[in-house]
Amino acid sequence: MWIVLFIGSCLGLATLAGFFGGSWWVLDLFAGFRHQLAAALLLCCLLAGLARWNKTALALGVLAVINLSLILPLFLGSNRPESGALRVLSFNVRADNRRFEETIDFIRATGADVVVLHEVTLAWEDAVEAASQRFDDWSYEITKAGGLGGTLVLAPTGSVVESFGFGLSDARAVEIMLPAGIAILAVHPLSPYNVFRAEQNDHQLGFAADWAANQDGPAIVVGDFNATPWSFPFRRLLASTDLLDSARGFGLELSYPADSNPLLRISIDHLLHSPDFAVVDRRLGPAMGSDHFPLTVDLAMRAPS
Q: Convert the pLDDT of each residue in 112-138 to its tens digit.
A: 999 999 999 999 999 999 998 888 888
Mean pLDDT, the chain, integer: 93
Domain definitions of the chain by residue range: 2-75, 86-301
Percentage of residues in the chain with pLDDT exceeding 90?
A: 81
Rounded to a whole number of angstroms, the distance between the first and last alpha carbons of the chain is 58
Q: What CATH code would you report for 86-301? A: 3.60.10.10
Do 14 and 30 touch, CB atoms closer than 8 A? yes
d(CA 255, CA 282) in angstroms, rounded, equals: 12
pLDDT beyond 80 at 261 = yes
Percentage of residues in the chain with pLDDT exceeding 70?
A: 96
pLDDT tier at 1, thresholds 50, 70, 90? low
pLDDT beyond 70 at 147 = no
pLDDT tier at 148, thresholds 50, 70, 90? low
- The SS3 call for residue 283 is strand
Closest CA to 222 of 203, 247, 239: 247
pLDDT tier at 178, thresholds 50, 70, 90? very high
pLDDT tier at 81, thresholds 50, 70, 90? confident
pLDDT tier at 305, thresholds 50, 70, 90? low
* 8-state DSSP, 181: S
